[in-house]
Amino acid sequence: MPELMAPATRLHSAWLEARAEWGPGLHEDGFGLRPSDEVDSPSGFAAWVALLADESDPKAVETGRGCTYRWIVEGDRVHGGIALRHGPNDYVAQFGHIGYGIRPSSRRRGLATWALGQALDEARALGLDRVLIVCEVDNLASVKTIEHYGGVFEDVRDTDHGSVQRYWIKI
C-alpha cells in the first residue's frame, strides 16, 4: 500500500532510481526540484531535502508562501511526488496549487488519483475553498485525474514551459 511521506534522505538511492527512469524535466513538478539543486551526492541531496522541509514548515505555510511536498512511496520505492503550494503568488497563478508526477513504470495504477485526493484533503484543512491545477495540453492521463475530482476547465495558456490547460477544483 502506498503512502505519502515527507521527503527523506534515507530514500536517496530510490529517488535517484526514479529520476533515472524518468529523466530530468518539468514532469518532476511534484518533487520541487529546481535546475540549481544538486541531488546526486549524499550531501547535496540532504541539503535539498532540508530546503523542502523548510518550505513545508508550518510557519511558511501560515504566511501563504510555503509548499507541502510529499513523495509517493511504497516500501523503499519512490513512485512520484506531489506538491501543494500555498497562497496566491505568481508561481501558483502560472503552475497551480497542486503539481504531481508519477514515474513511467508506476503509471496506470491510480497513484496520481489517490495522491491528488490526499492533497485535496490537505488543501481543505488549510482552508482553501478551491485549487488551480494545470497540466500539459497533451497529458490526457492528468486531465482524467483532475476531472475525477470535478476539475472544471478554465482555458489553455502559454507559459515559459509550453501550453497548459487550467482547471479549478472546488473543495
Contact 88, 79 (CB under 8 A): no
Q: What percent of the chain has pLDDT over 90?
A: 67
- Digit-coded pLDDT (tens) for 46-89: 999 999 998 887 776 666 668 999 999 999 999 999 999 987 77
Rounded Cα distance between 87 and 82, Å, is 17
In this structure, the strands spanning 67-74 and 98-102 are: unpaired
pTM tops 0.85: yes
- Digit-coded pLDDT (tens) for 130-142: 999 999 998 999 9
Q: What sign has the CA pseudo-torsion 150, 120, 164, 64?
A: positive
Q: Which three cell numbers stand for residue 167?
A: 482547471
Q: Which residue has the cell 496566491?
A: 88
pLDDT band at 28 (very low <50, low <70, confident <90, very high): low
pLDDT band at 107 (very low <50, low <70, confident <90, very high): very high
- Greater pLDDT, 161 or 150: 150
Rounded Cα distance between 45 and 41, Å, is 6
What is residue 57's three-state secondary structure?
coil
**Residue 29's pLDDT is what?**
65
